Amino acid sequence: MKKDLLTVRDLTQEDINYIFELAEGLKSGVGAFERPLSGKSVGLIFQKPSNRTRLSFEVGVFQLGGNAIYMTGDDIKLGVRESIKDVAKVQSRYLDGIIARTFLHKDAVTLAKSADIPVINGLSDLHHPCQALSDIFTLKEKFGKLTNLTLAYVGDGNNVLHSLMYAAALMGVNLKFSTPAGYEPKKDIFDDAKEIADKNKTDILYFKDPEDAVKSADAVYTDVWTSMGQEAECEKRLKDFEAYQINEKLFGKAKKDAVLMHCLPAHRGEEVTDELLDGPNSIVIDQAENRLHVQKAILIIYIGGKKKK
């Protein structure tokens, strides 16, 4: 049966460890000349514009010997010009896999249910699994471990936080987060992730005060306050998030060797200062690079058909 990757919740700890094992090998050059996607075509259905997600998947497919076909929202008009079910059925006859970057998560779910080929979520309004997996991989790379690490997330309770909660819970990373009132993560996702965390003796904790979330953290993570599709809310969000900027004072509450994380793109001077983003503690470019390696591992498993030995 074909497998889809729509949320980190679709994975087990063993699955993630296998993805990380492959990604480490790929990054170090293991199997550099292998072409597990040779003769395969992968469609990229992107309703939202993209820099890292598009580049990392297109380059990844190419490096693995496959062919990537990029389709914008205007090209497909998913669910408008043609039903999502029909798009999925037709593309299943042409392609070997689909990377979907949709506004609504339910559209990615419908696409996956209707397709006869693997569907990988490149971003939706509720989840960003490839980003979170790359982030946790980067933490493991930097600290040499994941257990007993504490990741602090400050900002909007968005798709990135949803996926980070699941990834942290599964991999034994303590997650402390702080969001303004009214911008909390979805309660059902938070409750579900917390249940997983409890089973793994890991903490997922909410703090009203961002300083309490950042205190003694090994890594501090933030994201834009206004994402694509929320531009009309920009002025209100700037006011509501004012106390949640990652600056020297707030970052100083973390451990001395703490690292700064951001999934990019960054709105410099809003959610984070230039000094920190460009400073020695920033690992944001490492996060961006690791999207390529982790996603190549995902492509090999889901579309290349590689299984654990």
Q: How many CA atoms, within 13 angstroms, populate the side-chain half-sphere of residue 147? A: 3
8 A C-beta contact, residue 111 and residue 119: yes
Domain boundaries, the chain: 8-128+291-302, 130-288
Q: Calculate mean pLDDT across residues 22-39.
A: 92
Domains 8-128+291-302 and 130-288 agree in fold: yes
- Of 54, 101, 127, 237, the active-site residue reads 101
> Is 131 noted as a catalytic residue in this protein?
yes
In one-letter notation, the amino acid at residue 193 is A
- Of 287, 291, 293, 295, the active-site residue reads 291
Answer positive or negative: Cα dihedral of 186, 148, 290, 22. negative
Give CA–CA dist 285/51, Å, rounded.
13
Q: Which residue has tokens 């990834």?
A: 167
Q: Name the CATH superfamily, with its identifier, for domain 8-128+291-302.
A: Aspartate/ornithine carbamoyltransferase (3.40.50.1370)
- Of 263, 287, 293, 295, the active-site residue reads 263
Residue 120 has pLDDT above 80, yes or no: yes
252, 210, 10: which is closest to 119 by C-alpha? 10
> Is 223 noted as a catalytic residue in this protein?
yes
Residue 1 has pLDDT above 70, yes or no: no
Residue 77 has pLDDT above 90, yes or no: no
> Is 9 noted as a catalytic residue in this protein?
no
Q: How many CA atoms, within 13 angstroms, populate the side-chain half-sphere of residue 167? A: 30
> Is 268 noted as a catalytic residue in this protein?
no
Answer yes or no: pTM beyond 0.85.
yes
- Of 128, 237, 262, 293, the active-site residue reads 128
| Architecture in CATH for domain 130-288 | 3-Layer(aba) Sandwich (3.40)
| Cα 266 versus chain centre, distance | 15
